[in-house]
Amino acid sequence: MVIRHSATVLCMLLGAGAVHAQSPSASGVCDLYAAGGTPCVAAFSSTRALFSAYSGNLYQVRRSDGKTQDIKTLSPGGEADAAAQDAFCSAAGSKCRISIIYDQSGKGNHLTKAPAGNKDYGPYSDSEAVADALPIKLNGKKVYGIHITPGGWTTPGQVGYRNTHTNGIAKGDDPESMYMITDGTYVNGACCFDFGNAEMDPLVYTSMDAIYFGTNNWWDVGTGTGPWIMADLENGVYNHAGATGSGRVHLNSKGQSLAYPFVTALLKNNKAGATTGGPFTIKGGNAQSGTLTTMWDGARPDGYGSLGKAGGIVLGIGGDNSGGAQGNFYEGVMTVGFASNAVDDAVQANIVAAGYGRNTVSVRDVSSHSGTMNELRWSEGVLRIAGLRTGRVQVTDPQGRSRLFPVSEGQVRTGLLPRGVYTCRILDGNAIEPRNFVVLP
């Protein structure tokens, strides 16, 4: 498809040596979703801002003396201020737990510990995660993830979060897209380490639309021993179309095991009968490098021709508060609308550039340029490069074909481009790493 003059391309830095853009002009994952027409309506992270200009609260910690502290970003669009948490929580030898996970979307869909649910599978109110249990590095900076530890179906102690009074979350069979960054080395097969759309009331069963990650093998499985990305649709956990029911396990040969320390898990459900994709799509990959792999894109499992989502949100538990799962959570969003493949690719590129697990801050010499080179932007046939006045640019299309273009006053006239992910390499006498830009339909 050829891009019309109103189209906009969102760009981000890639590569092992890439600069992680911290300025408000750089794109966050929710900026990418918004530009694609599928805006975030819930956006959670204890590690970083998910909008380029977001500088508010990421999460709240509560000390054992009952006092609380909101943890913000270090800068607009930046990482969490873990030092503020450490200073607050170390006072008088106190221990902190994560009491609120704030919604960055502006919809107010904050997460707090989940209430009790089904008397057989999750009868106890959940616990809050220990705040310092999961320290990691993000672009060389110390941050904390959310460590979900299991309880049991009939024993207390499960860590889990829920919102039963949401705003703007997809309901019924309305399309939605979501992803989370999780951990492929800390999993189990119990039900259910979920993130996504669930019942408002854990005692009233409806359809769900939530990402599941783990080694559960009661309904569907993927290749290898897991963990796998699947969808918790409430009465089962599935990763492709096919017969459903207890004792009827089916293999999806495209469902790869993802035992990476940082995993991107993505789920999209479209409206029944839609012609824009899916209606049931699962993708995943390494959150530290590479692109997403499509695990399934086609029909939903039997009995789920359309969904009856209730619009609640869960993290770390099943829809009925099933409490035996474990997992680690770093970030995740929910949108309205079925995101395009180009947006999926752009989101994964942003995640890779964020630097999960990177021990040092990425820097490079940009003294030959007049700006920070934190952004590329393409529209109406012109690629604009912040901080570069003259030189040459090599642009490689999705089929691997390259062309050289001159730079004049920070602009490269490429002409109209078909949709897809393009690689841009700036040739100015220095070893400048490639960066990607995405042409959206």
Q: Which residues are catalytic?
A: 234, 320
Place of tokens 């970003």: 73
What is the C-alpha to C-alpha distance for residues 257 and 254, in angstroms, rounded to an integer? 10
What is the C-alpha to C-alpha distance for residues 101 and 78, in angstroms, rounded to an integer? 17
Enter the DSSP assignment of 395: E
What is the C-alpha to C-alpha distance for residues 428 and 109, in angstroms, rounded to an integer? 46
What is the C-alpha to C-alpha distance for residues 226 and 135, in angstroms, rounded to an integer? 24
Contact status, residue 239 vs residue 220, Cβ threshold 8 Å: yes
- Copy the structure tokens of residue 344: 């999926």
Give the contacts of 192 (CB within 8 A, at least 6 positions apart). 212, 214, 216, 232, 237, 317, 318, 322, 325
Angle at 316 (CA atoms; ends 231, 41), nearest 5 degrees: 70
Enter the DSSP assignment of 246: T
E strands, 56-117, are: 57-63, 68-72, 96-101, 112-113
What is the C-alpha to C-alpha distance for residues 432 and 373, in angstroms, rounded to an integer? 11
